[in-house]
Structure 1
Amino acid sequence: MEKHVTFAVVSIFWLLFAIIGFLVSYRFQERGIIRCCCILTAVCCYLAWLVTFLMQLNPLVGPKSDQKVILGMMTYWPNSFMHNEKDP
Structure 2
Amino acid sequence: MTLLVERSEDMSPDGRLSLFMDVDGDIHVKVLPPMERKDDYAPSVEFVTHCARSPRTIVALQALIEAMRLDNEERPLTGSFTLE
Bucket of the pairwise TM-score, normalised by the shorter protein: 0.3 to 0.5
So what's the TM-score if we normalise by structure 2? Answer: 0.35
- Greater relative CO (CA pairs within 8 A, separation 6+): 2
Decide which structure has the larger Cα Rg and report it. 1
So what's the TM-score if we normalise by structure 1? Answer: 0.34
User: Which is strand-richer, 1 or 2?
Assistant: 2
User: Which is helix-richer, 1 or 2?
Assistant: 1
